[in-house]
Amino acid sequence: MMKTLSKNILATVSGLVLIIFPQLINAQDEETSASNGSAAGEAATQSAIGGVSAGTIAAVVAIAAAAAAISDSGSGGGAITPTPTPAPAPAPAPAPAPAPAPTPTPTIEEYVTEIIVDVPGTPTSTATATATRTVAATRTTGATATRTTGATATRTVAQTATQSINGSVTVVDVVGVEVYDVVEEYDVVEEYDAVEEYTTTVTVPAVAATTATATTVATREVN
């Protein structure tokens, strides 16, 4: 709206200058001619009067037109319609993003690696355990034997003897007594080494904490 108003004011001022400037020039020339003679001055005066009248009418008309233009520009009627600003060209559509490259599948391999492990220490302690030992023992073999006891005994035995009666010899049975060593029968007993198991208490010495190496299977990615 301000742009249209400034254009209308510039057009009005330009019209007034174009109308008034020739009248001022004519009036100056006619005054110069009037100094040369009364007759010429009379004619010039009449011409100037007529010219002023015509110029005045033209000026009034120009002013009225300017006022009308200003009025129209203020009310919005009769104003010069500004050339509409062309709409900006639509932005080009963005190019589609390229499809992402497929992620390659990594190759996983197993390998044997060596690691260091902590071996905790243990304090001194006691524990029970079983052990064996050899002892002497005896046993019967299942056999029997005889031996003298060191004692003696008597017993009767049947025997014969001869006797002479009236010059003849006769054999007669007599009962005799003999002394003998007493013999006994016994079970044979043998001695052998027997192994027996027994429970004992042992002291477990303390073990200091330390480290050791061990192997384990790990995985890694290779390409």
CB 155 within 8 A of CB 177: yes
Task: Note the pLDDT of residue 113.
Answer: 92
Task: Note the pLDDT of residue 216.
Answer: 93
What letter would DSSP give residue 172? E
- Cα(207)–Cα(126) distance, integer angstroms: 13
Query: What does 84-125 look like in DSSP terms, one character per residue?
Result: PPPPPPPPPPPPPPPPPPPPPPPEEEEEEEEEEEEE--B--E
Residues 131 and 46 in one domain: no
Task: Note the pLDDT of residue 215.
Answer: 93
Which candidate, 10, 22, 14, places its Cα nearest to that of 54?
22
Residues 139 and 201 in one domain: yes
Place of tokens 């004519």: 26
Within the chain, residue ranges assigned H as helices are 2-34, 38-75
Residues 55 and 142 in one domain: no
Mean pLDDT, the chain cut into blocks of 10 residues (223 residues total): 56 64 56 49 45 55 62 50 76 84 85 91 90 90 87 82 75 76 89 91 90 92 79
Number of structural domains found in the chain: 2
Domain end position, chosen among 30, 51, 75 = 75
Residues 119 and 218 in one domain: yes
Which candidate, 112, 108, 113, places its Cα nearest to that of 222?
108
Task: Note the pLDDT of residue 218.
Answer: 92
In Å, the largest CA–CA distance within the chain is 262
Residue 51 lies in a domain: yes
Residues 216 and 138 in one domain: yes
Domain end position, chosen among 22, 46, 75 = 75
- Cα(101)–Cα(35) distance, integer angstroms: 103
Task: Note the pLDDT of residue 15.
Answer: 65
pTM for this prediction: 0.23
Residues 125 and 202 in one domain: yes
Task: Note the pLDDT of residue 157.
Answer: 79
Task: Note the pLDDT of residue 155.
Answer: 82
Residue 178 lies in a domain: yes
Residues 41 and 126 in one domain: no
Residue 54 lies in a domain: yes
Task: Note the pLDDT of residue 167.
Answer: 74
Contacts of 216 (CB under 8 A, 6+ apart): 112, 113, 115
Task: Note the pLDDT of residue 161.
Answer: 74
Residues 154 and 218 in one domain: yes
Task: Note the pLDDT of residue 44.
Answer: 45
Residue 80 lies in a domain: no
Range of the domain at 203: 112-222
Domain end position, chosen among 75, 91, 125 = 75
Residue 41 lies in a domain: yes
Residue 44 lies in a domain: yes
Q: Is 93 exposed, middle or buried (0-12, 13-18, 19+ CB in 10 A)?
A: exposed
Task: Note the pLDDT of residue 213.
Answer: 92
Residue 50 lies in a domain: yes
Task: Note the pLDDT of residue 41.
Answer: 46
Residue 203 lies in a domain: yes
- Cα(153)–Cα(182) distance, integer angstroms: 6
Residues 117 and 71 in one domain: no
Residues 117 and 212 in one domain: yes
Residues 69 and 117 in one domain: no
CB 204 within 8 A of CB 125: yes
